[in-house]
């Protein structure tokens, strides 16, 4: 509406377009890379719009890119946290990364099946690739998966537990091509 009488309820009462700062960026909801305009006022999110000049999305956004960031309206942890003496303490990024490196370094070159890695499928494909390279290729972990696959594996696990209770078959571990662990019957 050109007069501003009609507005969506997510951005209602958060400011008019003349009162906001517009930042051109790329949506992070998935790995497609849609161009978006993020409207902010006093460092608070007002609205997310598709960039009409974006070659990938031509101004259109999916529901995740358009509305998911708007749902976050809480205090977020702004610094990394390290557990010291049983309690979480704020730390710098350098301290957090060096702590992680010092705990993972002894596992390098050894079997790291004690390390499980889970990443969101909403990350860019480059981040997922680097994540897999670090945990599966460098550390040798056989337990690297995504949220969707983990949910599927959890369902399969519970189904198998249920079948075991019913039939009591002889089981052996089996590694699938995706390097996910399942139990398969030998009979």
Name which residue leads in pLDDT, 114 or 94: 94
Which of 174, 107, 96 has the alpha carbon at shortest distance from 134? Answer: 107
pLDDT band at 184 (very low <50, low <70, confident <90, very high): very low
Structural domains in the chain plus CATH codes:
17-71 (2.20.25.90), 117-187 (no CATH)
pLDDT digits (tens, 9 = 90+) for 20-79: 888 898 887 777 788 888 888 887 778 888 888 888 888 888 877 777 766 665 666 778
* Long-range Cβ contacts of 48-53 (<8 Å, 24+ apart): 51/24
């Amino acid at each position: 509406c050109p007069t501003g009488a009609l507005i969506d309820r997510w951005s209602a009462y958060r400011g008019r377009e003349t009162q906001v700062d517009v930042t051109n960026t790329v949506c992070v909801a998935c790995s497609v890379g849609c161009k978006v305009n993020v409207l902010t006022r006093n460092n608070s999110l007002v609205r997310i719009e598709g960039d009409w000049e974006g070659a990938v999305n031509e101004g259109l956004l999916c529901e995740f890119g358009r509305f998911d960031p708007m749902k976050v309206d809480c205090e977020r942890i702004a610094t990394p946290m390290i557990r010291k003496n049983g309690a979480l303490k704020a730390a710098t990024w350098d301290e957090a990364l060096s702590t992680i490196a010092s705990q993972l370094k002894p596992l390098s070159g050894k079997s790291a099946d004690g390390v499980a890695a889970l990443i969101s499928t909403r990350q860019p494909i480059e981040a997922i690739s680097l994540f897999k390279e670090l945990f599966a290729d460098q550390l040798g972990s056989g337990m690297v998966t995504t949220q969707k696959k983990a949910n599927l594996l959890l369902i399969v696990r519970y189904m198998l537990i249920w079948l075991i209770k019913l039939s009591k078959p002889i089981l052996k571990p089996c590694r699938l091509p995706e390097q996910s662990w399942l139990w398969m019957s030998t009979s």
